[in-house]
Amino acid sequence: MASTNLNPRVVTLGTAGGPRWWTGDNAGKRAGISTAVVVGDSVYLVDAGTGVGNQLMKAGFTPANLRGIFLTHLHSDHTIDLASLAIFGMFTLPAGKAPISIIGPGDRGALPPASPRAVAAPQPLYPQNPTPGTASMFEHLMQAYATDLNDRVIDALRPSPLDHFAASDIQIPAGTGYHPNENPTPQGFAPFEIYRDELVTVTATLVKHPPIAPAFAFRFDTAQGSVTISGDTAPCQNLIALAKGTDLLLHEAIDFDWVQRAYGSVGTVEAQASMDHHRASHTSPEQAIEIAHQAGARTLALHHLVPGTTPLSVWEAHAGKFSGQYLVPNDLDTISFSRVNSEMAAAR
């Protein structure tokens, strides 16, 4: 296996962040956030934003290529098409294929604190189960589609997605000091392994994306290169530690000038709370570049772009600030993180 060039790469299936369909200029050019980590013919999917199934097909893959689906956190823009992957995907899965792992955050365990701008205590939805984790969420999604699924299982003799997908929660190591409200991003948190097969080892760390917790970044190490995917985060030392020496860092980015334009003059409590959230939970291109420098990343690619309609020139204007390769990929771009390919190109 070591002598085979596995051509490790990512395909940026969707590069827009945010729980919305972006409108205006450049609308529709970027699908919801989702990244395919490809090693040989195997695909490891990170997040399942809107349109992920169609994007996977456009990239030349099907769910039959999937070995795992990894969710950085449970905000809707990262999970909204998880159900479609499982329900539509089961029609493309061959008999005998090992179940596809769905791995993501567990139950938060406590509701987040209310915004200090709240004039009255907001009431939670579904107080009997207000913060389900990945396994519980997937079970509830499949239960919501039980009418459809039972029609197909009983009448059309189709397989059940429960036979082809296995959802589990990431267990945060004990003794780290993690608490969803009091300490969601412990300093000095050591990356820990969450998945391994003969092609990849996946490690995770906790990142800073209040109020949601836990929120993870993931690193995929192969024999021929590594990629680190930030998930949604403000600048975070834990991410720098995870990404040390990585060949490719995919980092989220937000246009804070847009935040000011969108909310600054509205004057409502809701608008001010939205500005508070964006400033506390996201990263500017300049900050992402500094993180990449501190981590020693060979290549930095910005994705999870907010808003999804910001002109490419706004993001590319920062290219000269990074000493390595700086990319702002479009949807369905392929980015190699292979040291083998890089060494071969350098030798030419």
| In-domain check, residue 1 | no
| In-domain check, residue 3 | no
| In-domain check, residue 288 | yes
* Host domain of residue 182: 8-109+131-347
| In-domain check, residue 123 | no
| In-domain check, residue 217 | yes
| In-domain check, residue 114 | no
Going residue by residue through the chain (348 aa), what tens digit of pLDDT does each one get? 345 889 999 999 999 999 999 999 999 999 999 999 999 999 999 999 999 999 999 999 999 999 999 999 999 999 999 999 999 998 889 988 999 999 999 999 999 999 999 999 999 999 999 999 999 999 999 999 999 999 999 999 999 999 999 999 999 999 999 999 999 999 999 999 999 999 999 999 999 999 999 999 999 999 999 999 999 999 999 999 999 999 999 999 999 999 999 999 998 999 999 999 999 999 999 999 999 999 999 999 999 999 999 999 999 999 999 999 999 999 999 999 999 776 655 554
| In-domain check, residue 232 | yes
CB 228 within 8 A of CB 236: no
Model's pTM, two decimal places?
0.96
| In-domain check, residue 222 | yes
Query: What's the total number of domains in the chain?
Result: 1
CATH number of the CATH domain containing 315: 3.60.15.10
